[in-house]
A and B are shown apart, each in its own frame.
Chain A
Amino acid sequence: MTSTALRSRAWKLLEMVTTPLLPSDYLDLVSPLRAGGDLRGRIEAVHPETGDAATIVIRPGRGWRGHTAGQYVRIGVDVDGVRLWRAYSVTSPTDRRDGRITITVKAIPDGKVSNHLVRKAQPGTLIQLDQATGDFVLPEARPAKVLYLTAGSGITPVMGMLRDTEFDDVVMVHSAPRPHDVIFRDELHALVADKKLRLTELHTDTDGMLDIARLGELVPDWAERETWACGPAGLLDAAEDHWAEHGVPERLHTERFRPAVVVTGDGGEVTFAATGKTVDADGATPLLDVGEEAGVLMPSGCRMGICFGCVTPLKAGAVRDLRTGAITEAGPNVLIQTCVSAAAGPCDIER
């Protein structure tokens, strides 16, 4: 018998000892970060960055497989007793010696998780963790010239890149309302002083928003640069148009944090087939919220349509994508993202 087979036999036997619970239910009591358990992390420190942003140092469980600079991680945090999942960019370099990772969170108005993490999170708290993911990453082949175009908390994935990989020629254009709102400002200025970065800092409260058409004035050779852009949808939309107009769309890599929610649709009666629950939903509420309100255990993730942690089979009916207005109809193997889909008429979801 191979050692794997032997181990699985032993585990089966252990399951008989602990039934109806699982051995892991008991192991979690003593070693929640062990290898082989559900992936979790422990918050070890919270460092304020600006008035409304903080960096959270997390010790990931033994099952953590590392990340690539620019990727994000989904974390599940208990806020007022309710487990909420969000996605945040990893801001630590990939070779951090102590194996810890950091995320940097900006508290957004009414943001349950972001405000909790920035203002209330305590060292020692356990959080749920997923493996890092996302393709907003640097390529294997090093580009000669790099441009980072960021705004607000859009700087976080780029900071992960800056800290991870040095390039010969890096320019960053970063927008924030005021100087003290610039996350990582001291570190950026230190990089500038070391001649590792050329930085244009725009303060939108006084300078106004960045006009992409005039990017050439700030970075004359922008079209030759491999560009990574992250920030509000308006900035990214404008950038995509601009790069496309100049025939270099392949040089632009973007990361969108929130969907532009279109309020539209008819709504309808939503049936959660597995639990047998039926509720009325309007055309503007994501099905994820509808299900959670009805007490259905819905898988969820970033809640903004990027992580696919919430995909669920659509068995019948149609849903509308709240970002684009596109209608998806049920069919074999049709999966929908419940966090950005609303009922477009009656529908039936496998939950």
Chain B
Amino acid sequence: MTAIDPTAHLTAEQIEELGRELDAIRDEVIAGRGEKDAAYIRKVISAQRKLELVSRGVLLFSFFPPAWIIGTAGLSVAKIMDNMEIGHNILHGQWDWMRDPKIHSTTWEWDHVSPADQWKHSHNELHHTYTNVIGKDNDLGYGIMRVDEDQKWHPFHLAQPLWNFINACFFEYGIAAYDLELGKNLHKRRRKNPEFRARARAVGRKIRRQVLKDYVIHPLLSGPSFLTTLAATFTANLVRNLWSHSVIMCGHFPEGVQVFERRSIKGETRGQWYLRQMMGSANISGSKVMHFMTGNLSHQIEHHLFPDLPSNRYAEVAVKVRALFEKYELEYVTGPLPKQVFSAWHKVFRLSLPNRKPKATTPDREQELVAA
């Protein structure tokens, strides 16, 4: 809700044409999906499992400092791979077309305290449908932060950089709480709702299993390396949390990304939905390794346009999508990781303070379109 709507120059017809061009890009990838893609995800899964096995094996000797360093680094990378390139993307249904029950969104479970089915609801359904709509998409600040000048400031927001840092360290727990809609459901009446209680129990079970594995069983198996293995798994979880939080902050927070009002999505067409995804997401530029380690969420714009296309195709799709941004004179928000992380954090700090002077509300896009 910046003062100037960056899509104001587009007519309704242009927006629908843009939608059709994006549909064509999508159809092309779907028609070309095949053996190479299947081989890719199988290879990544197999590599992740081997890396995790080897790292945990090395950690059995983690009383020896070099073993601690190698094992912890390996386990951190394995956990990042599990959550990002594998878990996130499989749970989006990106690989369902293979019809392999072992790599399917309905059967996959990830190394994360939020059970896959709860995450799929809050992420795939809510966040991806209502991307950046204030009041509807709680991913924006996860309900605990002020993310736009137009949101009313409250003294509570002064501490939001601190909340955000704590959330980053324990990100998987933050996500689990978020998927449970804990803030909303902790009120007395809602707490007793049987549906909420069942979901809370499922989260409890998942947390118990995850904690047992990382902080009890593997350290015990390490015998004399009990404490060092415990420290290693804690470190790996911390690294994974900080990393995924950083990557995800870059997706919708950096300067230049638009947010939307609830009113603006009423009766939204496919073209308008696409346009909102384009304006509401931001990319991270970098090397192939960088893209891989972010689970290709560095191609956040492409991912939000086509959440169910296989992640290994986003790089080629990005070239075509970027050309459309240029054609329609829209800003493609992208930059290297440090720049984007800084930009996102800068916004968190900036909005923790009241605005110096309240800015005008964005003119409603729908009305604009009618006017055009």
Contact = CB atoms under 8 A, between A and B. Distances in A.
A16 B220 CA distance: 12
A81 B40 CA distance: 10
B347 interface: no
B292 interface: no
B104 interface: yes
B99 A297 contact: yes
Given A17-B218, A20-B110, A29-B50, A82 B212 contact: no
A84 interface: yes
B35 A80 contact: yes
B231 interface: no
Contacts of B308: 295
B49 A25 contact: yes
A20 B109 contact: yes
A290 to B, nearest CB: 14
A17 B50 CA distance: 15
Given A17-B217, A26-B49, A84 B99 contact: yes
Contact of A295 (B96, B107, B218): B96
A17 B221 contact: yes
Given A17-B221, A29-B46, A81 B209 contact: no
B210 interface: yes
B34 A81 contact: yes
Interface string B88-100: 0000010011111
| Interface residue tally on A, bucketed by range | 10 to 19
Contact of B97 (A17, A25, A295): A295
Contacts of A29: 46, 49-50
A20 B209 contact: yes
Nearest to A128: B100
A295 B308 CA distance: 11
A195 interface: no
B264 interface: no
Contact of A81 (B33, B106, B107): B33
B96 A297 contact: yes
A16 B209 contact: yes
Contacts of B339: none
Interface string B29-40: 000011111110
A326 interface: no
B57 to A, nearest CB: 12
Interface in A149-194: none
A217 to B, nearest CB: 49
A20 B35 contact: no
A249 to B, nearest CB: 40
B35 A81 contact: yes
Nearest to A78: B38
B100 A83 contact: yes
A19 interface: yes
A78 B102 CA distance: 13
Nearest to A295: B96
A141 interface: no
B97 A82 contact: yes
Contact of A16 (B34, B35, B217): B217
A292 B36 CA distance: 21
B201 interface: no
B150 interface: no
Interface in B77-124: 93, 96-102, 104-107, 109-112
B144 interface: no
A121 to B, nearest CB: 13
Contacts of B49: 21, 25-26, 29
Contacts of B99: 82-84, 292, 297
A351 to B, nearest CB: 9
Interface in A189-205: none
7 interchain residue pairs of minimum CB distance = A81-B38, A20-B109, A80-B34, A83-B99, A81-B35, A19-B209, A295-B96
Given A20-B111, A81-B98, 5 more contacts: A19-B209, A19-B210, A29-B49, A78-B100, A81-B33
8 contacts: A17-B221, A19-B212, A20-B109, A80-B33, A81-B33, A81-B35, A81-B39, A295-B96
